[in-house]
Copies of this chain bind each other. A is one copy, B any other.
Amino acid sequence: MTCMQDDTPRAVRLAARRRTLTGPTAGRAGGFVQGNLVVLPADAASDFLRFCYLNPKPCPVIAVAERGDHRVPSLGDDIDLRTDLPCYRVWRDGEISEDLPDISHLWRDDLVGFVLGCSFSFEEALTAEGIPLKHVAAGTNVSMYRTNIPCRSAGPFAGPLVVSMRPLTAANAIRAIQITSRFPAVHGAPVHLGRPEEIGIRDLSRPDYGDPVDVAANEIPVFWACGVTPQAAIAAAKIPFAITHAPGCMLVTDVPNTRLAITSRDSGSSSTP
């Protein structure tokens, strides 16, 4: 990743606004929450909010904008949802229509913006505590899989839980469960570990999204609920019109990752043996 001299959240947003940044935000504005974006017409927004409420692990809502309002002051004074992401994905009738660097011309008075927590926050916490993440080291996308675990449906929104997988040693898996439990607003604790077939994943080496990663003999695959879940639900619902972030191109907020932690670090548990 390239770091600009000014890598504050606001600087990243301005770069996106000016279209000097049109690619992924991974590694940018370290320490600050990045969010998944979902924009829906008001007539679908109510069901979608209920879907998020029923499925908080894959769909952790960290902000909902007012109807028709492109601002999200709770996440940053100057945020403009129409311009501040490096790239957007437009969906029509549940199909990907186009990827765009700006959606100002598509904005409407009936649109409602949702910002959902993203695993970048908990990955930063894991890295800070010395837990290596192989996809980060390799510079690839995390492996993601559709499971046989159904989300709880709300109106037209339904579909499988999508999970991301990180291979970890047993000791790191235990620490990772402790650490991510402190971050329910960014998917929280894992939903599964060990045998992938128990959640309907037949071949770990063939993820449904993202890139494959090797699981070594001394590693356990650990599965977290993933923010691709709501996109899969939008596709399944065949919503006539929706906008999301393009993969990896998140909304960078002014909220520190640490503010999402519900408790302080567990000092007792690190004193192994």
Contact = CB atoms under 8 A, between A and B. Distances in A.
Contact of A193 (B170, B225, B266, B271): B170
A273 interface: yes
Contact of A189 (B54, B178, B182, B189): B178
Instruction: Assign chain A's interface to a size class.
Output: 35 or more
B193 A161 contact: no
A171 interface: yes
A263 interface: yes
B273 A262 contact: no
A188 interface: yes
B262 A191 contact: no
A218 B181 CA distance: 23
A185 to B, nearest CB: 7
B218 A268 contact: no
Q: 4 tightest CB-CB pairs across the interface, nearest first?
A: A184-B268, A189-B269, A177-B177, A161-B273
